[in-house]
Amino acid sequence: MGRHNTAATRAWIIFTLALLAANSAALIGQTLKVTRPPDIKNGKVVYNGGCIACHGSEGKGAPETSTVFKRPDTWPDFTKCDQTTPEADSAWKAVIVHGGPSRALSPIMPSFGDLLSNDQIDDVVAYMRGFCRNRHWPRGELNLPRAIVTEKAFPENELVISTAVNASGAPGLTTDFIHEQSFGTKSQLEVDVPWVYQDQNHSYNSNIGDMTIGWKTVMFSSLRTGSILSLQGSILPPTGNTKLGGNGTTVFEPFAAFDQLFRTNTWVQFQMGADLPVNPDITPQHLFWHTALGQTLSPDHRLGRQFSPMVEFLATRDLIDGAKTDWDVMPEMQVTVSRRQHIRAAIGVRTPFTDTAGRTPQVSFYVLWDRADGKLWEGWK
Ligand code: HEC
């Protein structure tokens, strides 16, 4: 037990590099915004004509003495990159076209859909992007819909409650309480506390599982090509009960996450890493390779509610001689639930399709709350 199977490791690495190479080859030449490059000068004209009275010449908001309205809590300061870069252009566009209430924001923000052309709105959005002067923030477009298993590259401010229930065999479920907090332009802290419940020969046992504490850093991101690459290092202290699947030894989990968005709103997310226990005699080392392939669909020229069907391909392999690779497939769907789109939910079914003995299908679902966009009870209507 616990001895490295070097041939398998090598094959794995070659497979991974080949996939990454194939993927980057597909990217060469892609530019997300091909339709029409926005005219920033014209955007300024539009801004100075219709927006400056409320939003001010620098995007911080006009002096309070010159505006009569009471500022809502969510009042935007467009020079604050930490607040503006997570918002996709489509989110701004929805508010400009349909007014504040379309995203459960203040009705003081008028709708300009009838006053401005589509091009004028694209131009004013491009001009307003210039209010944030720091180019190091990854852009919110690259924050792809969260897959149930595959971890994404984008640093988040989220709270997620995610449950996986055995669909056959002995009843059992695991619920993860996941807190993600971004730091600065490129980093994110993640804390995941699982709660495990199992029926073991009619004795019902529940316990906290192995916690995860992780630190993620964005290595590269580009809105132009639609790509983002991050590295994460995690530590899992053995807080769980080994009878309920706990590792029984501290595990280190490094991984790389690479996400790619295409012009068609199709995207793919890769996550590759290893679980490296301090004592591999207690629980074996293993490698994992996760892929999520999906498409975001949204009515009203992508300004409405988002539906993201996707399928995950999940592989794990113990690093011991003669171990087989376990493959699972997981079709799933994520939808934006609240009007502001800061509450989202997903459901999926994870089915083993190789080495299926003793592995049960699971139904998984989660609810997530993007805390940067408002409180849990705000933004519904
Ligand atoms: C009458 C005042 C007023 C005018 C004119 C106005 N806005 Fe606004 N705008 C607001 C207010 C108030 C909010 C904040 C709504 C909230 O947060 O509840 C807002 C919010 C926004 C947001 C949403 C930012 C976010 O937090 O997601 C965008 C984008 C925006 N305005 C763009 C524009 C553009 C572009 C124009 C000109 C074409 C414009 N606004 C004209 C008052 C105005």
Q: Which segments of 71-226 are extended strands (E)?
A: 158-166, 172-183, 187-200, 203-208, 212-222
- Ligand 1 proximity of 125 Cβ (cutoff 6 Å): no
- For residue 99, how far is its CA from the centre of ligand 1 (angstroms)? 8
Which residue puts its alpha carbon closest to atom 14 of ligand 1? 75
Distance CA 263, CA 295 (A): 11
Packed helices 118-129 and 40-50: angle between N→C axes, nearest 10 degrees: 90
The CATH homologous superfamily of the domain defined by 40-129: Cytochrome c-like domain (1.10.760.10)
- For residue 76, how far is its CA from the centre of ligand 1 (angstroms)? 8
* Helix/strand/coil percentages in the chain, nearest 5: 20, 35, 45
Which residue puts its alpha carbon closest to atom 9 of ligand 1? 109
- For residue 109, how far is its CA from the centre of ligand 1 (angstroms)? 4
DSSP state of 16: H
Sign of CA dihedral 120, 380, 76, 55: positive
Distance CA 152, CA 144 (A): 7
CA proximity to 126, closest of 241, 41, 234 = 41
Fold (topology level) of 6-26+139-373: Porin (2.40.160)
Distance CA 331, CA 344 (A): 17
- Ligand 1 proximity of 131 Cβ (cutoff 6 Å): no
Which residue intervals of the chain are DSSP H helices?
6-27, 40-50, 52-55, 81-84, 89-98, 118-129, 299-302
- Ligand 1 proximity of 74 Cβ (cutoff 6 Å): yes
- Ligand 1 proximity of 121 Cβ (cutoff 6 Å): no
262, β-bridge pairs:
none
Beta-sheet pairing, 266-277 with 307-318 = unpaired
**Does the fold of domain 40-129 match that of domain 6-26+139-373?**
no
Q: What is the pLDDT along the chain (381 residues), one digit of tens a residue?
A: 334 455 665 666 666 666 666 665 555 556 565 578 899 999 999 999 999 999 999 999 998 888 888 888 889 999 999 999 999 999 999 999 999 999 999 999 999 999 999 999 999 999 999 999 999 999 999 999 999 999 999 999 999 999 999 999 889 999 999 999 999 999 999 999 999 999 988 889 999 999 999 999 999 999 999 999 999 999 999 999 999 989 999 999 999 999 999 988 999 999 999 999 999 999 999 999 999 999 999 999 889 999 999 999 999 999 888 888 999 999 999 999 999 999 999 999 999 988 888 889 999 999 999 998 999 999 998
Distance CA 312, CA 12 (A): 18
Domain parsing of the chain, residue ranges: 6-26+139-373, 40-129
